[in-house]
Structure 1
Amino acid sequence: MVKEAISNKHALITAIAAFRAMSGMTSRGGGISSSQGVQIITSTSGVAEFKVRAGLELAVKVEIKGDKMYDFLGTLVDFVLPRMREFPGIVMPAPSATSNSVSAMSGVVAFGLPPTAMGLFPQVEINQDSYPRMHGFHMHFLTNAKGKGAQNRARALLSGFQIPFVRR
């Protein structure tokens, strides 16, 4: 979520441009389906405490598949993660965590990166003056693994791409 977008919807422009640069995806670019590309997320309901109204444009998301996904993953592993200070890896759940939870059986690995990580992508770093504000972001790696131990198989797949995991 871009907090400034609550009062100024033009604050999303830098996030849209940065996500397009990082992912190589444009909305409906190259004849791709509308489910791919950079999309603007609107709020579904209002929250008075945060001054959020229903239908307010708040965030940006992108879904990357195919060759562009592997390009993004390679850039993340080769350029961004090694240059991040104090990033030991993605924190794994404790060994005592239940293996029957919905998240453990879904095959999804999710984690977030701070705003400094956006500036470390070479596509953004080249034109860093064009992005006056960097934003933190979350990534969800969806696999087709299902059932007991699916998240462990998904983590094993990502560790094969050199994404570090740590246990605390």
Structure 2
Amino acid sequence: MNTFKERYSMARAELKKELGLKSLEAVPRISRVSVSVGAGHAVGDPNYIEQVSRELALITGQKPIIRKAKKSIAGFKLREGTPVGLLVTLRGKRMYDFLNKLVNVALPRVRDFQGISAKSFDGHGNYTLGIGEHVVFPEVVLDNVEKTFGLSVVIGTTAQSDAVAKQLLEKLNFPFRDNDE
């Protein structure tokens, strides 16, 4: 069984041939993975941010940064400086480890999983994926979970178009839906 990094190297070599590029450096690559959690529940529960931070650190292997509100919004009972979310940006080995875990463990554990949508590219080669419950990751111990939360995963690539980025992710065994274009 190849590691994710080895599969990634082989996928880039195959993509170089398919795209007719002369240099391996010209082949698109994954530059970063950002994992974020919105903490709207944090307004009523001060321990929520700490719990989510611990579990996000377990999932990603890196301590998240706390994102705070820039402005006060009375309609949402939000004050400037109040924590509104958590963010982790992964690069290098942690990025490959997280992507391997996402593709091979977490996504297959999602209830009624039919594949990921091919419509979630942003027009610049970046892919956004939402995960409804964080409990699909193997590091999360269900006995310790008070509240479940969703994750937003953004996979940043150097591809100039969505089609090329999709080819790269397909070669890395991302399970795209067949009927979704």
Same fold? TM cut 0.5: yes
Size of the aligned set, in residue pairs, is: 142
TM-score in terms of structure 1 length: 0.77
Corresponding residue number in structure 1 for 2:137: 121
Q: Which fold has the larger relative contact order, with Cα–Cα distance below 8 Å and residues 6 or more apart in sequence?
A: 2
Asked whether 1:24 is paired with 2:61, we answer: yes
Superposed, 1:13-162 pairs within 5 Å as 13-26=50-63, 38-93=64-119, 103-104=122-123, 106-115=124-133, 118-124=134-140, 127-146=141-160, 150-162=161-173
Indicate conservation of the 8 Å contact 1:108/1:151, yes or no.
Answer: yes
Q: Determine the structure 1 residue equivalent to 2:43.
A: 6
Code of the residue aligned with 1:19 in structure 2: it is L
Partners of 2:102 and 2:142 lie apart in 1 by 17
Q: RMSD between aligned alpha carbons? A: 1.9
- Name the CA distance, whole Å, in 2 between partners of 1:93 and 1:112: 12
Q: How far off its partner does 1:48 sit?
A: 1.6
Q: C-alpha separation between the residues in 1 aligned to 2:48 and 2:175?
A: 33
Report the secondary structure of 2:139's partner residue.
helix
**2:164, 2:74 → 1: CA distance?**
41
> What is the alpha-carbon distance in structure 1 between the residues aligned to residue 148 and residue 164 of structure 2?
33
Whole-Å Cα distance in 2 between the matches of residues 78 and 43 of structure 1? 35
Distance 2:86 2:119 in 1: 28
Q: 4+ residue stretches of structure 1 with deviation over 6 A?
A: none
Determine the C-alpha separation between the residues in 2 that align with 1:43 and 1:155: 34
- Offset, 1:64: 0.8
**Structure-2 residue corresponding to 1:99:** none
Letter of the aligned partner of 1:109 in structure 2? Answer: Y
- Which segments of 5 or more consecutive residues in structure 2 lack a partner in the other structure? 1-37
Q: Could you state the TM-score of these two structures normalised by the residue count of structure 2?
A: 0.72
Match of 1:33 in 2: none
8 Å Cα contact 1:2-1:58 kept in structure 2: yes
Structure 1 distance, partners of 2:72, 2:148, is: 26
Segments of 5+ residues of structure 1 without an aligned counterpart are 27-37, 95-101
Query: Cα 1:142–1:3, aligned 2, differ >3 Å: closer, same or farther?
Result: same
